[in-house]
Amino acid sequence: MKEKTAGRKEIEKLMAELARNVMQQSPGFSAGPKKTTAGRSSEDAAREAQELVYDAWEEGSKSKRIRLARKALALYPDCADACNLLAADAARTPAEEMDYYEKGMAAGHRALGEKKFKEWKGHFWGVLDTRPYMRARAGLMQCLWEAGEVDAAIHHAKELLKLNPNDNQGIRYVLIAYLAELGRYQDLEKFMRARGYRNDCMADWLYTGVLLSFVKEGDAEKSRKELSNAMKMNAHVPKYLTGKRPIPSVLPDRIIVGGEDEAFCYASANLSAWRKVPGALDWLKARISAKSVVRGKKV
């Protein structure tokens, strides 16, 4: 799963520096003895390796990103983000990409340590040191899905949400897309009702809810109401789902909530799920046409 990199260097680097300053100024702080890596303390090696990753994120040249990632791993073998970079830039096959993410996930776990891993469960991502692991696991999740190992991918998605219920990575949208694509509507309904995201206003959540309602109810009042609510937040989605407008072949790094970019990104990820439900797209076309006639304008 490729996370958007814009701005991460400045934000995460600043957060890391602030965290170190706060810790070092805390009463009773003691660095204590540490193992060394090439003459550096393990803490210094980890920090310097992550700095190389930050530099790589800002580097436009793929070959230079790869060199920086390999240098980071030579400096600190448990630099998970270096493995993530290699997965994105150095992997020549899907199997190699998956292997890099698996190594990154393992490295991230080792870097955190079992005690902190258990202690921070439920608060991951909010703790800066957990993010490389989360990125690696999300990347592995996507690789597994693309390889057809759907149950393993779904497992990783659910585990990521247990580690970070706040879901800064947007894993919930990936999970509901997976479940809808597979036609696992009972699991989809259970997840969407049980999780604490009921007030979610993103197109992914709202329009997948519309699809689920149509699966269960058909052309019923509930389905129509959910569609109406979804269109209040983003009226552009049906145009891309029904083919009135083509889905761009290149998707943007960032979206505007309620905008056309959010709409075609949703359609790109979920059109197949809609097509698999008999009558769903025809119903959507009919409902949009009806709304156009009532309003006296095109939607």
**Residue 272 CA neighbour count, 13 Å, CB half:** 9
Q: What is the mean pLDDT of the chain?
A: 88
- Rounded Cα distance between 291 and 149, Å, is 41
Break the chain down into helix, strand, coil percent, rounded to 5. Answer: 70, 0, 30
Lookup result for tokens 């890099």 = 100
Query: How does pLDDT run across 167-182, given as a tens digit for each residue?
Result: 999 999 999 999 999 9
Per-residue DSSP letter, 252: -
**Of 62, 56, 144, 70, nearest to 102 (Cα)?**
144
- SS3 label, residue 92: coil
pTM of the model: 0.86
Looking at 7-21, 87-101, 230-244, which range is the least confident one?
A: 7-21
- SS3 label, residue 176: helix
Maximum Cα–Cα distance across the chain: 75
Lookup result for tokens 């992550």 = 50
**Of 174, 185, 186, 124, nearest to 150 (Cα)?**
174
- Rounded Cα distance between 38 and 85, Å, is 23
Query: How does pLDDT run across 110-142, given as a tens digit for each residue?
Result: 999 999 999 999 999 999 999 999 999 999 999
What would the two tokens of residue 5 be?
């990199």
Lookup result for tokens 């059109």 = 271
Q: Residue 268 carries which side chain, given as an amino acid letter?
A: S
Query: How does pLDDT run across 252-285, given as a tens digit for each residue?
Result: 888 889 899 999 999 999 999 999 999 999 999 9
Q: Residue 233 carries which side chain, given as an amino acid letter?
A: M
- Rounded Cα distance between 38 and 217, Å, is 64
φ and ψ of 41, to 5 deg: -70, 155
Query: How does pLDDT run across 196-237, given as a tens digit for each residue?
Result: 788 899 999 999 999 999 999 999 999 999 999 999 999 999
**Of 173, 178, 8, 172, nearest to 85 (Cα)?**
8
- SS3 label, residue 54: helix
| Contact present, 34 and 46 (Cβ < 8 Å) | no
**Of 163, 169, 172, nearest to 112 (Cα)?**
163
